Amino acid sequence: NAGVMQNPRHLVRRRGQEARLRCSPMKGHSHVYWYRQLPEEGLKFMVYLQKENIIDESGMPKERFSAEFPKEGPSILRIQQVVRGDSAAYFCASSPGTGNSPLHFGNGTRLTVT
């Protein structure tokens, strides 16, 4: 049973380019969460999605960031016109969504903006 799969593991972008991060949840999980982690800091919630719906995007910056979880395919976190401050590790987590099930995390995408 494959875990949460994220790709790419490492992504380098120049300032102003777009970054697309992909996440395939665990089998049977229909809820996806995105978190950002800076060095020596904790996990910062960004967005919570179910299939075709954004449930909570209270942690997403108002501009340049968007997320989707289509009916078919992985969840995508998209960052437009990246800046150096976007450099971080981005983690995706999934859950079956029943009650207060714990989250299961992928190994993250490390974004470096040069």
Partner 1 sequence: QKEVEQDPGPLSVPEGAIVSLNCTYSNSAFQYFMWYRQYSRKGPELLMYTYSSGNKEDGRFTAQVDKSSKYISLFIRDSQPSDSATYLCAANNNDMRFGAGTRLTVKP
| Positions that interact with partner 1 (CB under 8 A) | 4, 6, 33, 40-43, 45, 91, 100, 102-108, 110
**Count of CB atoms situated within 10 Å of the CB of 105:** 16
Residue number, 22 or 64, with CB nearest to partner 1: 22
Beta strands in 10-63 (DSSP E): 10-13, 19-24, 31-37, 43-50, 53-56
Residue number, 1 or 72, with CB nearest to partner 1: 1
Residue number, 63 or 98, with CB nearest to partner 1: 98
